[in-house]
Amino acid sequence: MAALAPVLRARLLVRAPVPLRRLQTTPQCRGLTIQVGAGAPGAARVVYLPSDLATCGAGADDANESGAEQQAWTQRFLKRSGLPAEMTPSTSALLAHLKRVAKSPESSHVLHTESISGDAITTVVVGTGVKHGEDLAAATIHSATKTAVQVLTQLEAEDSVLEAPGFGSPALASVVYEMAHAAQLSTYKFDRYLSQKEPAPTPLATVAIDCNADDAPSLAAAAAKASLLCEGTLVARDLVNERADTINPQSVTEYASQLATQFGFSATVMNEAELRENGLNMLVAVGQAAEHTAALVELEWLHPSHSTTPGESLCIVGKGVTFDTGGLNLKPTGFIEDMHMDMGGAAATLGCAHVFGKALQAGSAPANPRFTRVAFVLALAENAIGSLAVKPNAVLTSHKGMTVQVGNTDAEGRLCLADAMSWVQHGAAEGSQGEGAASALRAAAPPPDVLIDVATLTGACVVALGEHTAGLFANDEALAADLVACGSVCSERLHPLPITPDHRDALKCEQADTNSIGGKVAGACTAAAFLEKFVAPGVKWAHLDIAGPAMCNVPHGITPKGGTGFAAASLAGFALSDAALKC
């Protein structure tokens, strides 16, 4: 068997490359421009209705029940919509109908009227289910705004005005942020491979958010923040939704290199041979049966003050398994089809890098930031099957030097992450032959103060938390709290989960230093316990298991079916935590 190894390696090195479609993303929110102001004359207007809409005028039977505030709101609504303010039977009947619409953010009604001067007025009214003074939750704003955008698209409105709700408890800047956030993301479609598309309606080009308030700069900043964070989400969605004949370690590496050029990041790329030289044997093993073998990419940004007055350093590591067959522990039909989405962690990392770079170009980096060094690292591989595939129960020597028994080849993501995490903390492995630029660069850089890995790692986390919540494991409570807060701002729910001594004990192995998997229970926790072994002392670490929310089987709120781009915005908000886009 030993004599066959050189022959197999030779065959691996001379394979003909597979032709690639060019990897593309369109992050600029599909051409939609968000403004804060009164909007263009004649633009279609969107009004969010309170559920306690008054249906009769003052002095009528329901006046005391409705209250003066509701009465005043209704009068303003009638005036802006070109309707008579006096309560005629037709007006009362219309308001009674709109009160039914107002009960749900999925309900809407279109009014076509004329102004006094004879100009046409189009008003789209959407419900909220919220009364005056009640909490206007982000999810409610998202649903109502999505409904409004869908109606505006059907009306083929190029320009529109969304009136910020004048009821509910959140601060106006928060309302504006959520409206802009929903308007940007609710129009997303991944349809580039449809050769015969339905005739597209006139695209919605401009959305003005009318706040009727004096604090225009802060409101405009809230809308700009939402727009930029949404770009990161859209980048990640496009990457996750791409198919495996386009997405592979090579094409992702090329895309990341373009991103580095665009934003002035320094880029380090290691191919399979360099990974072997540097001791990243587990990452190599995951990808060794694929046409395009494993790679590692690091994009690095240094603040101008880093060399003189360094602050903290942050490293985000994304799992980038561009297609996961499960390896020789093959995934069954019904599970394997969507495994082009198993690079959701790397997609979120690249989306975060996009937002970070755009913020820097816009001058959002403060003079004394928390993080003066930020690195975005992609552990890239395709978990393919074939004669070269890593075998179950193989024992690999990790970058850290720890031997690992591969308990299941479908638990490949943790192998990729563990080697990448070890490399960013330690550089070339002890005893390795790494002497290239990548080794020299890593040897010169100290371990990061904060290390975050993000991955579509375990089905067990989906079972535990469902499809819309990510699992959060951390060795530092303050770090966990910061990430939860950033997730809340971006409507990306992170829920803390534990790593207990029982989870660590489940990884014990008689033939190697550790097994890669635990038992049949607590799979998300034992996977996190495995990664914990590769965190250096003193490094603040968090692990995000986004297996559930990274992909949707059915649309949910403003999240479409397919790749969601989950975690890109939260990570960007955290990385920019002391900048203008702070969470």
Task: Supply the pLDDT for residue 433.
Answer: 53
Q: How crowded is the C-beta side of 506, counted as CA atoms within 13 Å?
A: 21
Q: Is 414 labeled as catalytic in the residue annotation?
A: yes
CATH architecture of 29-223: 3-Layer(aba) Sandwich (3.40)
Beta strands 295-302 and 371-383 are antiparallel
Q: pLDDT per residue over 380-418, tens digit each?
A: 999 999 999 999 999 999 999 999 999 999 999 999 999
As a 3-state breakdown, the chain gives helix, strand, coil percent values, each rounded to 5, of 35, 20, 45
Distance, in Å, from the CA atom of 434 to the CA atom of 338, rounded to the nearest integer, reads 36
Phi-psi region of 468 (alpha: psi -120 to 50; beta: other; left: phi over 0): alpha
What's the rounded mean pLDDT across residues 282-289? 98
Q: In sequence order, which ranges of 200-343 are alpha helices (DSSP H)? A: 216-241, 249-263, 272-277, 281-287
* CA-closest candidate to residue 282, choices 409, 418, 99: 418
Task: Supply the pLDDT for residue 117.
Answer: 66
Residues in contact with 298: Cβ distance below 8 Å, sequence separation at least 6, in sequence order: 267, 268, 269, 375, 376, 377, 378, 424
Distance, in Å, from the CA atom of 543 to the CA atom of 537, rounded to the nearest integer, reads 16
Task: Supply the pLDDT for residue 330.
Answer: 96
Residues in contact with 328: Cβ distance below 8 Å, sequence separation at least 6, in sequence order: 385, 389, 390, 391, 392, 409
User: Where, residue-wise, is CATH 3.40.630.10 in the chain?
Assistant: 247-575
What's the rounded mean pLDDT across residues 113-128? 81
Q: Is 331 labeled as catalytic in the residue annotation?
A: yes
Q: How crowded is the C-beta side of 381, counted as CA atoms within 13 Å?
A: 33
CA distances from 300 to 137, 315, 378 (A): 37, 9, 12
Distance, in Å, from the CA atom of 190 to the CA atom of 193, rounded to the nearest integer, reads 8
What's the rounded mean pLDDT across residues 113-133? 83
Task: Supply the pLDDT for residue 312.
Answer: 92
Task: Supply the pLDDT for residue 20.
Answer: 47
What's the rounded mean pLDDT across residues 60-89? 70
Phi first, then psi: give them for residue 384, nearest 5 degrees: -100, 170
What's the rounded mean pLDDT across residues 367-375? 86
Catalytic residue among 76, 103, 131, 331: 331
What's the rounded mean pLDDT across residues 332-346? 94
Mean pLDDT of the chain: 87
CATH 1.10.760.10 holds for 247-575: no
For every residue of 51-105, which 3-state class applies, written as one string? Answer: CCCCCCCCCCCCHHHHCHHHHHHHHHHHHHCCCCCCCCHHHHHHHHHHHHHCCCC
**Residue 12 in this model has a pLDDT that exceeds 60:** no
What's the rounded mean pLDDT across residues 18-45? 71
Distance, in Å, from the CA atom of 177 to the CA atom of 222, rounded to the nearest integer, reads 5
* Residues 548, 467 contacting (CB under 8 angstroms): yes
What's the rounded mean pLDDT across residues 153-179? 87
Catalytic residue among 414, 442, 493, 540: 414
- Identify the DSSP state of 472: E
Task: Supply the pLDDT for residue 32.
Answer: 84
3-state secondary structure (DSSP) of residue 311: coil
Of 6-20, 24-38, 557-571, least confident by mean pLDDT is 6-20
Helix (H) or strand (E) holding 7: helix 5-13
